[in-house]
Structure 1
């Protein structure tokens, strides 16, 4: 038999009251049962905890020393219980957030994370830029918990998506392009253009569909910053989210609207469909409200 938590609780109660009957009443057990618990504790520990007479109860030297450790242990357990309950309520934990750059350019990422941190100050939120075609794998292996992406894209069964922001696609032009003179550019004017492709190519393909041509595809440099850098060197254009025009000022690049019906672009939050972690579920709820 080993010393158990019940033995420690009984010892601390008797040490507090120095009276078996009062301690038994506090613990909700009969005095004889409390006496047996203390006797068991002393036998298992190998030393006396109390000096008992018919009229008094006092701690032994060993009992006084053990009381310090017992109180610390109970306090540590209470703290552990509170931490566990906070985690169960979604008030404690860590969230790994992945995002494509255009989510940061729109401000939707910052708004959600800041609000979430205000409401859940004990949850650590880490964010890092990711490659969009790796999202499903990163969610599946737990490397990230949620991600901001630009649909459309294919999601496996275990991944769910919800739209959190809408804007439109616009055109990024090099400053030596003749199209700079136009207030807006129609898809038909881009028939002979070479397109630098961002990760989300749906805008480029839609421009080609509306202009009735197959876009001549150039580099696929990856991030939107790299896409704009390619455009700035001349000889190519890019179809990019309108948010870039509001926050990116790159030498050699001008932005123009695409004429006609707006080509809608969205930012979606993706997450595991059957997520169980309360902190992550709370983040998803927060993002839906934002």
Structure 2
């Protein structure tokens, strides 16, 4: 027997008539009669009491009815879930991000949009050091990740370029630079630079000022960078989105005159993604 036989049995039991059941199923009555007879032969017992126009369940048929209903219901549920998984309607995503993805508001916007469209896909969202995030995606510890580019990615990863932004200077409020009406790159040649995870802004500002930067600590996330600035350990070139989101005592943010340096967020993912839910998230970002 297979699931088809259970469907035929239930149709006859509910209709109490082979002809009406056959019409419901879209098959010929003789075919339905033969299928039920095959079930009875395999089970070694009668399932229906045949009368002139109606049929009723035997004791064996009554016992089978509850189990058949449960079996068909579970089968349909399994089918439905498999179809939903194939479309990416259900599943799980491990998502890593760097802090500036949150400060920009981009991460919130894209995660919330995806959750509205696919409420049954669970997301585990965790901040991660940018230096290790790409390999964690390659190794499967994350499915996707938000990083700040430009950066070099390992083999097997692809990146979707997202919003770009410029840089600002974070400096101690008592720095002599605060007294200048405008701060140009060349004013920074004697400063110690606290390095964020993405150092391209620092290097570009120094190049525009025509000097080799004096590099200080690289403590990790942007909050740790700004904390060292607040302690007077140096200045830092950070993304504009930090302004208004990371405010610490003793720190001011100033624009850098003529600075054309910029960076952008990227969504990184494996080149040949197998998870339908992850692929659906990636496609949503591409079509934003």
TM exceeding 0.5 = yes
Matched, 1:12 2:29: no
Q: CA deviation at 1:125?
A: 2.5
Aligned-residue CA RMSD (Å)? 2.1
Q: CA deviation at 1:226?
A: 0.8
SS in 2 for 1:149: strand
SS in 1 for 2:73: helix
Determine which of 199, 202, 205 is the counterpart of 2:203.
Answer: 205
Q: CA deviation at 1:224?
A: 0.7
CA distance in 2, matches of 1:116, 1:55: 55
Match of 1:125 in 2: 123
Q: Flag the 1:55–1:264 CA change in 2: closer, same or farther, 3 A.
A: closer
After TM superposition, where is structure 1 displaced by more than 6 Å over at least 4 residues in a row? none
Structure 1 window deviating more from structure 2 (192-201 vs 83-92): it is 83-92
Match of 2:254 in 1: 256
Matched, 1:283 2:281: yes
Mapping for residues 1-290 of structure 1, pairs under 5 Å: 3-290=1-288
TM, length-normalised to structure 1? 0.90
SS in 2 for 1:70: helix
CA distance in 1, matches of 2:281, 2:4: 39
Q: Flag the 1:222–1:46 CA change in 2: closer, same or farther, 3 A.
A: farther
CA distance in 2, matches of 1:27, 1:182: 85
Number of aligned residues: 288
SS in 2 for 1:150: strand
CA distance in 1, matches of 2:176, 2:197: 26
TM, length-normalised to structure 2? 0.91
CA distance in 2, matches of 1:108, 1:183: 32
Structure 1 window deviating more from structure 2 (272-281 vs 138-147): it is 272-281
CA distance in 2, matches of 1:266, 1:246: 19
Aligned partners of 1:183 and 1:257 also within 8 Å: no
Q: CA deviation at 1:190?
A: 1.3
CA distance in 1, matches of 2:232, 2:67: 73
CA distance in 2, matches of 1:165, 1:264: 11
Q: Which runs of 5+ in 2 are unaligned?
A: none
SS in 2 for 1:82: helix
Aligned partners of 2:135 and 2:154 also within 8 Å: no
